[in-house]
Chain A
């Protein structure tokens, strides 16, 4: 494959091997002794668009299926995915984006299973919670029926073709939140399937999480003991975010913006009081927003508590009961800031490591393991223990990842 570079140069690459790309990560796993404790990655990805032909076979609606199949023959993806503009590959600088096409899976196995297990072994992850990629923007689709149809097809495909084949891969299934009835039925139908550890709402969407039509979904999840995750994403067409002319800008703010809105609604409408046993996890917004949210919401609540009468505690108290994935963990020159953040959010019990691999801003387990202010117990909780408790995972004694 020819990669276009600056100055009209090219770089030609014949092969791509995840093991080779990540061999420094494997060395980190060995040096840090990851074989001594389990590592659970609560947010990782695959590219479901690469399997779209298979996924469309699971689509029930014959008209939508035919429409999507036809569109995917003429367009590069389905012609049905929402979203669009994005430069995650950083102008080819993050080479695994174009080069992944060259990598092959193992024979007799779905390529997604092979590739996922390959990077998990390379970095020392035992269990990973896998999410889609282009579908993170499916909540923006103007056709609600398409969100439902694609979500249902994808979930059924994922359960049968991926989760059933590799117990080290789990997923919080995509919830088509623009159709509350369909979302409810999806939880009923798929919540108990092997490998399903909860449900995920993509955060880039425009229906408020406190709408009454969602209450029976939350109640059902609570009753079934299944966690609800809000996975962030950006929407460059959002009226405010569209003021920004750089991907860096829209990504840096977009990945927190939607979750800030949803969390504020979640708390101010007293959902933690109404669903006290529902476990909520906020995915891929990093950590830096949490001290900000705690301070902003507490400060205003002290003056305007009459507007949020359902609350029995401070907003920050509810935030401290929620769960968070770690990536993209903001690196600051000041270690103190991160230490204070982790203390404020009770990271030792509420924070769960996530890699986001193979996306461009992935974090290795060493981003947690090397933090000087955490005890060994805290590190192991964040890297695995918290997720094991959160999802109720049953793990064997021995390490599942093939680390040295």
Chain B
């Protein structure tokens, strides 16, 4: 399992991402709230560049105790990255497809060696 260089830790800001390639496989690496996550940049839908889209917090309903609906809000803890082709959303911390968690992107380990961040491809 070769290590593929991603970035210098100091240059890889929180909320940022990198796309690296190894042996024909593209991998999206995210720095989300200080943790690193890496997934294959290949959408389970039609093969789009899933890791290259925007990062959006999950949209949630606001319901009252009597189950009435009071609007929407963005989740405070769940964030998704969104495939730019057609909008499939993936949980940034697990790579699961938000609309059907049985579906998942291939994930990779990310390691830090000194000042450098690597993905284990």
Q: List residues of chain A with CB under 8 Å of any chain B CB.
A: 3, 5-7, 9, 11, 21, 23-25, 28, 90-96, 360-364, 366-367
Contact = CB atoms under 8 A, between A and B. Distances in A.
Interface string B36-78: 0000001000111100011111010000000000000010000
Interface residues of B, number: 20
B49 A11 contact: no
Contacts of B15: 9
Instruction: Give the interface centre of B42, B56, B79 by most chain A CB atoms within 10 Å.
Output: B56
The 3 lowest CB-CB distance pairs between A and B, nearest first, are A6-B57, A6-B74, A93-B82
A349 B74 CA distance: 47
Nearest to A23: B49
A95 B54 contact: yes
B86 A95 contact: no
Contact of B56 (A24, A93, A360): A93
Interface in B61-111: 74, 79, 82, 84-87, 89
15 contacts: A6-B57, A9-B55, A21-B84, A21-B85, A24-B42, A90-B87, A94-B84, A94-B86, A94-B87, A96-B84, A361-B86, A362-B85, A363-B46, A364-B47, A367-B46
Contacts of B48: 24
Contacts of B87: 90, 93-94, 360
Contacts of A9: 15, 55
Contacts of B59: 6
Contacts of A24: 42, 47-49
A95 B79 CA distance: 17
Contacts of A23: 49
A9 B15 CA distance: 10
A7 B74 contact: yes
A3 B54 CA distance: 9
A5 B46 contact: no
A63 B15 CA distance: 53
A93 B48 CA distance: 13
Given A5-B56, A28-B47, 6 more contacts: A6-B79, A11-B55, A24-B49, A361-B86, A362-B85, A364-B47
Contact of B53 (A93, A360, A362): A93
Nearest to B73: A6
A91 B89 CA distance: 13
Nearest to B50: A24
B54 A5 contact: yes
B103 to A, nearest CB: 10
Contacts of A95: 53-54, 84
Interface string B11-39: 00001000000000000000000000000
Nearest to A359: B86
A217 B69 CA distance: 50
Nearest to B15: A9
Contacts of A361: 86
A11 B53 CA distance: 10
Given A93-B82, A95-B84, A96-B84, A364 B46 contact: yes
Given A7-B57, A95-B54, A362 B86 contact: yes
A12 B20 CA distance: 20
Contacts of B49: 21, 23-24
B115 to A, nearest CB: 26
A57 to B, nearest CB: 35
